[in-house]
Chain A
Amino acid sequence: MADILKSIREAVLNYDEDSVKRLVTEAIENGINPLKVLNEGLTPAIREVGDKFGKEEIFLTELLLAANACMAGVEIAKRKLLEEKQKVGKPKGKIVLGTVEGDVHNIGKDIFKVLLEISGYQVYDLGIDVPAGDFVKKAIEVNADFVASSALLTTTRPQQKLIEQKLKEAGIRGKVKTIIGGGATDKNWAKEVGCNFYATDAIEGVKIIIKVCEKQK
């Protein structure tokens, strides 16, 4: 059993999506609990890749390819858990995510999403060009822990202020935390917006969310 989990780790580390799919299927067919595959095979592997990226030992593309390979395995394991009516386990946190209205940039946001998902968070990705009100509606609907918005343009970043305002108007600002990011933002802007957190990149954003959610527990 340990061998196949080791092979899954290696396949993730080698960005080998086909092997991850094959090995996860094989592991489950051989009677290994899908939760074990998730917790002892896929998750530690992607954490290892994330750490390497954090230390600048690997490039972003390597991280994303590993994340895609990992997600392919996660999907198989999750499907099996649903079939067996096992509980996947509660997500570590719920995050409503999107690129603000008028802005169609999605790469950073997508990386952030993938990294959060493989870290065990439930992400509600509203996509790009999202009106401020939609962030608020979704946050209320899913009882979100975080609202995360991205803005790549100086012309669109005022939308992040609007999100803050609308969250206040809806009366949930005290309950939900906000985090902003994107090329047009920095610490000074974050202060002006009045958000809780600012992240220079996707990796930092994920680290902040993990830290805050773990503290809340």
Chain B
Amino acid sequence: MIRYHRRRFIAGLGFAAGGAALAAIADKLVSRAYGQEPAAQKFVVFWFIGGSIQVQQGQTGWGLIPPELKGEGESGVGGAVELSGNTGFTWPKKLAPLTAIRNKVAILDNLNNQCPGASAHGSMFQATTCSPGSGLPGGPSIDQAIAQVVGKESAMSSILVGYNERSIQLNLERNVDSFAAAQGSPIPHTTSVPLLLRELFGTGVSAGGKPPSPKPIMDSLRLDIKRLEGRLATEERGALQDYLRLVEQFEAQQAARAKLDCGLAPSFPAGSPEEMATAMTQALTLAFQCGISKVAGIAIGTGGDHEDMPAYSATTGERIFDGHSFEFDYSRQGGLIQTFHMSLIAEMHKALGDALVSVYTCDSGMAPMEGDAGAVFTHHATNYRVPAIVVGDWGGALKTGGRYLRYGAKVAYDHTNGVGNNQSLADLFLTIAHGMGAPLATFGGPEQVVPTTGPLKELLA
């Protein structure tokens, strides 16, 4: 039974809105609270970011390709490459906030988004679940595929958060564009900080109190569902199966929640996009520490178009970043935004230590805006030179080790050719799943199974 008095913890840290106090002493306190070392816990956060991660922006220096490799297969053609160790290459400017934990980071390059029929602009479900492009997910997003295995006994199987330009402008509480429970089953992520805090730390009905037993309601629902089964066609009964599954899941989660004492909802400023992102990651950190969940997904700037990347005027001092501009400065602005994200990741890792692994990818095309032969950027993304950043190693379960891993490519990257990279983004996803204790064999849905070769042996210990 976990007793975690978060209010005392926060008070003891002198917690302020910025959350920077969740620093070096956090691990120690968490250990004391749980009575165990952090490495025994495992948490994972998937970052799906609209826009792009620039692999190669030599001129502005915001890319991920180490300068030591310039001129050698910039387009990724040819051999697989590994630059290993935390001093073996120039650390990318974009990842500056991770410098202190560089030995826990791996940069993966040249992954391929091998979804059948994948779109160059594969955003949203097309990127995270291999959607066939019909606007519906082709299968569970990787966070859900893992949560459905490891989150069964948690108060929340996963925590999904994020925002985009639209959710900010319209003051939406939820978006539906990135995460899915199964084929054809999109699920929303929370885009409102107050709602997130309510979900995690307060019911909104009896804040801080324990909810009444739901058993009579759940039993009644079971009868409703059974009665309806005879009225629906076979295929439509899936909706009822979902309902039933949710009933059972809710009961289990209520039981798990009853064992926690996470206290009342904290208060975070959440006016600007930076504040929202900071608040969300702080809330996730607290939720992990309290034991509410083990899996999280963050979708920032996702949505139907590049224009969904929100403004970061405070961070960049620039006009609103639209994500689809032809301007030369696009990559620099994008780089600044992603560096800001790295700072948030660094803070989470400070608080959660070896227990946390963060996986940072982009969803808009799951690909970089990449030029050939050293051009700064091109108009359209591709899906066969996908980078990813993995931070953390679960106390050695992953072999991140400050490495740059570039997988080989068969053909040059140009206008008319391009397929043939050896490693799929899904292989990375499976690696993380295995590391988290969800040894999935495949990724995708029954009609959208992604070709994979299995977990990356060079990453999984």
A, B: real partners:
no
B interface with A by C-beta (< 8 Å): none
A interface with B by C-beta (< 8 Å): none
